[in-house]
Chain A
Amino acid sequence: MKQDTAAKTMVIVSSLYFGLALTMGLLTALKFVVPTVGEIEYLSLPRVRMLHTNINLFGWLLQANMGILFWILPRILHTRLFSEKLGVLNGVVYNIAVIGGLASIVLGHVKNVEYGEMPTPFDYLVALSWVLFGINVIGTIAIRKVKYLYVTVWYTLGAVIWTTFVYITGNMLSQLPMVTGINQANLIWFYVHNAVGLIFTPLGVAIAYYMIPKQLDTPIYSHKLSMIGFWVISFVYVWTGAHHMIHGPVTYWLQTVAIIFSFSLIIPVMAVITNFFGTFATAPRGTRMKGPIPKLLMMGTVYYIFTCLQGPFQAIRSVNEVVSKTDWVVGHAHMALFGAFSYYAMAGIYYVAPRMAGRKHLYSEKLGDLQFWIMTIASVPFFAVLWISGVVQGYAWLNPENSFVETLAAIKHAHIARFTTGGLIYLAYFLFIYNVLQTFFGKYPEEETTVAE
């Protein structure tokens, strides 16, 4: 089988899913403004919301990450992918799982697991394709031609190991008949939080650790910081699930443990970010922001700082009292998964797409730049209005004299602003997908001129 078939397929398919996910997000935002839009069972607000999160996490982000890593790992390890056939099988099983899972959600067959609504058997298929991915990752490391394992490899290896347990705990063990009530809630929050923290964080950071030095043609700033970042995150992240239930009906010490470890997350995050910025700072000045790839990497890192500073602080009991359960948390989640990790994934796709297609460069750097600027200028207010509305509503809730519906009316402006800025992000997506598809399948202007000659 041709080299990079699996990587190529997964990258293209995931880019298409990204558009579908954004469509669902925009529809959700519209329903917050005009609740009577699309009032049919299969497009009711909660179902569209489940589709939005599941397509984003599984259709787009995880698949894009797997595709990009299938391309990166062999290059870093100076070898070929362990098994291209296994990779293709992985992609096929995975997409059957995603399509089946999404269809089930539309029809209302769901689990009560946030981010894991896809019901059996599709969640088992996701787990199976994850095992296939793991075999390929470990196999590729085993047949490597270099001695040292680079940071990207540690993070990918870590994600493979951690996610296996995290996914099984949240999606299978939590559904066992004897696991009920708060005990079940605890296992599910363990999954929900670590889905972001131990799946998308390490995979996103792995991609950035490869992409930033490669693109800037500068060695990584500090090897020690890489090690601190990796080993501390592998110890610290997993403890934090219970911070979703602060002040709630779960054991008090468990909340305290989650808060302490949530706060400790500042350590690995700052290590990673210092490393990324350090690399940017030592890169040649003239070219370090040229084209969309370094811009996306830089802005992704900026969003990563913000979201990872927000996280520790909103886990503190007093802050949590105001912002928890409000739109603030929605803003936080969007900045992590869209701002940081989708930016990294888009940078990754812009980087690998021309190389996979055998081209010298991206179809259009200018379009890429334009897409970056529209997305960035739209997403800053997109996140900001959600935090503002979260704080407004959080404080309004403290006074029981304000009826609930009054506190909801007070944040109408934010919901309108979210829809409009979200619409801009949606438009920018089409520039992205056009650029990617043109790079893979389109004709480049200079090729046409050579034909003419």
Chain B
Amino acid sequence: MKIDVEKSLLWSAAGAFVFFAVGAVSTTIVPPMVDKSLWSSEQPVHEYTEQEMRGMEIYRREGCVYCHTQQIRHLDSDQRRYGWRLVKAPPSESWEYVNDRYHFIGTKRTGPDLGRVGGKYSSEWHYAHFKDPRNMGEKFPDRKGIYEKASIMPSFAYLSDEDIRDLTAYLQTLGRNKNWRVDENGKPLNDYEK
């Protein structure tokens, strides 16, 4: 029997499906089967508290991901830029995210990456920054000058204080599954945290 695909609805549809299915299965089902670090971790991973989960949902609702990624890529420039003092930020690994009910890896950096922002700024700093990113008040003199002119982050002054507290609690967890900000004795340095 000669099959003429171009005359047959059935064969066209079956062909299009099979061709597609090979790639679909190989890129969605196979990776987690081969690479367990996509869904499990041998090292302890932070379990979010209820408050942090609320913060995560606010992060989603307000669409933070459209301007802020959450991944330190395996690139020297990323590791230095998002490092702390002179410590390079370690690149993000898949196991660090296994407890993230919602992923916010992101694809566009209109603002800086937040992959390892946890603990870098005090919660007071975040509060002032959410209220008005271009005018954080006298308390933060290093945010004068170019920040007032060039920052294009929207103000989130419409969030309630409770919302900002929840959101900040979530931000302060980011990137801390690797304990990377340590002194020479390996003790965690958390001088910014309040």
Contacts and interface: CB of A to CB of B under 8 A. Distances in A.
Contacts of A412: 150
Contacts of A324: 107
Contacts of A400: 77, 80-81, 83
A35 B152 contact: yes
Interface string B75-113: 101101101000000011110111111111111111110
Given A44-B62, A330-B108, A235 B39 contact: no
Contacts of A185: 97, 103, 105
Nearest to A28: B66
Interface in B135-194: 146-147, 149-158
Interface stretch (A45-53, A85-93, A124-132): A45-53
Given A180-B39, A190-B28, A405-B150, A157 B16 contact: yes
A154 B16 contact: yes
Interface residues of A, number: 84
A397 interface: yes
Contacts of B13: 138, 157, 161
Contact of A241 (B12, B27, B153): B27
B46 interface: no
A331 B59 CA distance: 26
B38 interface: yes
B7 interface: yes
Interface residues of B, number: 76
Contacts of B83: 400
Interface in A214-260: 231, 234-239, 241-242, 244-245, 247-251, 254, 257-258
A46 B108 contact: no
Nearest to A42: B158
Contact of B108 (A109, A241, A254, A325): A325
Nearest 9 A-B pairs (CB), nearest first?
A46-B63, A181-B97, A238-B23, A409-B150, A247-B73, A400-B80, A182-B94, A249-B92, A108-B61
Given A114-B107, A180-B103, A49 B66 contact: yes
A330 B7 CA distance: 41
Contacts of B7: 147-149
Contacts of A44: 62-63, 154, 156, 158
A325 B109 contact: yes
A49 B152 CA distance: 14
B104 A112 contact: yes
A44 B150 CA distance: 18
B173 to A, nearest CB: 14
Contacts of A181: 38-39, 94, 96-100, 103
B24 A46 contact: no
Interface in B1-41: 6-9, 12-13, 15-17, 19-20, 22-24, 26-28, 31-32, 34-35, 37-39
Contact of A39 (B17, B98, B155): B155
Contacts, number: 224
Given A110-B63, A238-B24, A412-B150, A180 B101 contact: yes
B97 A239 contact: no
Contacts of B156: 44
Interface in A117-174: 138, 141-142, 147-149, 153-154, 157-158, 161-162, 165-166, 169
B163 to A, nearest CB: 11
Nearest to B30: A254
Contact of B23 (A112, A188, A239, A247): A239
A287 to B, nearest CB: 30
Given A247-B73, A397-B77, A405 B151 contact: yes
A258 B26 CA distance: 11
A329 interface: yes
26 contacts: A36-B155, A39-B158, A41-B158, A46-B67, A109-B61, A112-B104, A114-B66, A147-B7, A157-B9, A157-B16, A181-B100, A183-B31, A183-B39, A190-B27, A241-B27, A247-B73, A247-B75, A248-B105, A249-B97, A250-B94, A251-B38, A257-B27, A321-B77, A326-B108, A400-B80, A409-B149
A187 interface: yes
Contacts of B117: none
B92 A112 contact: no
B103 A149 contact: no
